[in-house]
Structure 1
């Protein structure tokens, strides 16, 4: 069966990406996935879900694509379910587009100090006054910036929104849809209130992802727990016809990767060197003035 292009937006063709999509039964006849690897506590229920963590304490699991995302512009829609027994639950799950793949760690079950995009569905509030949880947020990492779990990633947040009701949504299929136009914008929409009712979480501009980025999912539990299930992943390449897309951001500044605390802007360096030069001028001027003063004092003795 061939892959067919589907046109749903004016000037934009949605071409399915089989290499980054998932649906039941998930595994082939050898009980392996052709396009994804999984590890740690992840289990596969071929007729229902891929469970990253079960509703047990101290679990973590991950699921990562074997091939990097090659599409320049893409849309990824993920159906998932976060649920469990009891009134207290945690910690949450993450969706990744990063250079790293299949590495366990402390950031929702995956590695910290990542390079690329992480979108976190955080179900347990550590320290974010005035913010309602569950909370969905994006972070762009540059391999050197850590995610601050104690403060729920507040200092490194790119954008986010509260999504109260996304956990344990009952009969409504919970979904997240991410739409990326290279170096232009990233938009995240959520479905959890009613079927086919999408709520915009955020849209931000000037986003640049690594050239080699793998699609991944991870989750973790601590003292509190939940089931974190991936049910379906539908990835599409967005092919934009020239001169027809409203997304053509002509005249926008060049996109930059997120780099908090990293290299300073060129203007900052110019100001730094200018201050050094001015300091040198002051020192030289003071020395010349002092020399002339001493010379004049010696001349006044005769």
Structure 2
């Protein structure tokens, strides 16, 4: 019985510790009113003291901020005046899209922004193209589908999507949103969301924590969040502005924002995570791979080989004077658009060297592709340089071994544990042996 009680206590203790460990990773949220927009919209206006500013056809009513009325060729926006300097945050958007148009005879949609630029009119749901930051779009009109119908083509079942559609995009100031393809080439992910002309409230949830972007929707009137997209490795700087925009064209809708509520998330980070984020600001963890190369002051020629074939990047070196290529890195899933420029650069600081280029020779490679591969590449047009499974590449890097002190204590505690188990075993055996002898008297 005492032994059973001991096991029960240990189990409860471990369970309790596990709960505390889980709590370390829980998030606390705090509403930040200076970044939020809600009734009665007293902080909206043109005064310098206002937290939010209207633009275009947007107007404030008692129940909502109407970005566009149900009229053709309108643009409207509401933008925060205060840059957000929060590391981790969560935005809950209460919105409404409604109008007289029937299905697919309405447009064009609305967007929630976290961008470097603000108060800029443009073609991307009422905001500028080539923006810098995050855009989450509620697209209500299928431009690509109508474009294919005009060409008497059809979607393949794999690529067809249902509208309205929610998608996210991250821009770096040079990436253009593709209207004809409804943003497919640059989207991070998305989901269909039937949000038009609903009698109940509709909500959009955007969370950015530990460089992970999560978007969810609540559009069924059940007060339950439904997953839309969840993307790791998203890098958004602090100091950008929140905003909401909408646009109509030949087709129209009312695009209303009832509230934008921003919550600051307090997330526990270990010292290792903090150090990794500090290092990441210097760009070190963004490397795909590499190798050592002793190339200074050699008498023989040195060469670098770079090959890009079928979205696979290979780098090799020839630095030993043996005219043999040595592997440096080989990474699949590298996406490089066409139309970019080649170049070579060098720099010196307090210390210096001669950096000479003897030749740069570019070879065109003729690679056979099957019809299926050709069709897949036609559908998956590359417009942004990227690498598939970047996080997996980082996880695949060789970790450092244990230090000598760590090995010493590991061995020490292992030995102490073994001795403890032996002592317990001897005590139990002696009690059993004594009780066994008593049965004979």
- TM-score range normalised by the length of the shorter chain: 0.7 to 0.9
For 1:114, the equivalent position in structure 2 comes to: 131
For 1:204, the equivalent position in structure 2 comes to: 231
- Cα RMSD of the aligned pairs, angstroms, is 3.2
* Residue ranges of structure 1 left out of the alignment (5+ in a row): 1-7, 257-262, 283-302
Within 1, Cα distance between the matches of 2:186 and 2:305? 27
Post-superposition CA distance 1:190-236 (Å, at most 9, x none): 01112312211111111111232110110000000000000011110
1:11 is displaced (CA, Å) by 2.9
Q: Secondary structure in 2 aligned to 1:150?
A: coil
For 1:272, the equivalent position in structure 2 comes to: 306
| Correspondence list, 1:227-246, <5 A | 227-242=254-269
Matched, 1:36 2:52: yes
Q: Secondary structure in 2 aligned to 1:127?
A: helix
Post-superposition CA distance 1:25-48 (Å, at most 9, x none): 113598757211110111111x11
Matched, 1:154 2:198: no
Q: Secondary structure in 2 aligned to 1:107?
A: coil
For 1:285, the equivalent position in structure 2 comes to: none
Within 2, Cα distance between the matches of 1:174 and 1:236? 19
Post-superposition CA distance 1:230-282 (Å, at most 9, x none): 00111100002346xxxx79999x979xxxxxx99676xx642967969x998
Within 2, Cα distance between the matches of 1:224 and 1:175? 23
* Residue ranges of structure 2 left out of the alignment (5+ in a row): 1-22, 146-154, 291-303, 308-314, 324-441
Matched, 1:82 2:82: no
Q: Secondary structure in 2 aligned to 1:155?
A: helix
Within 1, Cα distance between the matches of 2:166 and 2:81? 26
Within 1, Cα distance between the matches of 2:86 and 2:181? 34
Q: Secondary structure in 2 aligned to 1:228?
A: strand
Kept after mapping to 2: 8 A contact 1:115/1:210: no
Within 1, Cα distance between the matches of 2:108 and 2:97? 10
Provide closer, same or farther for how the CA distance between residues 36 and 142 of structure 1 changes in structure 2, counting only shifts above 3 A. Answer: same
Post-superposition CA distance 1:69-117 (Å, at most 9, x none): 1111111101000001121100000010110111000000000001110
Matched, 1:124 2:153: no
Of structures 1 and 2, the one with the larger relative CO (CA 8 A, separation 6+) is 1
- The structure with the largest strand share of the pair is 1
Query: Which stretch has the larger CA shift, 228-237 or 9-18?
Result: 9-18
Within 2, Cα distance between the matches of 1:97 and 1:42? 19
Q: Secondary structure in 1 aligned to 2:255?
A: strand
Which of 108, 115, 121 is the aligned partner of 1:104?
Answer: 121
Provide closer, same or farther for how the CA distance between residues 94 and 123 of structure 1 changes in structure 2, counting only shifts above 3 A. Answer: same
Provide closer, same or farther for how the CA distance between residues 139 and 272 of structure 1 changes in structure 2, counting only shifts above 3 A. Answer: same
Which of 198, 204, 207 is the aligned partner of 1:176?
Answer: 204
Within 1, Cα distance between the matches of 2:24 and 2:163? 33
Number of residue equivalences? 258
1:49 is displaced (CA, Å) by 0.6
For 2:247, the equivalent position in structure 1 comes to: 220
Within 2, Cα distance between the matches of 1:100 and 1:9? 36
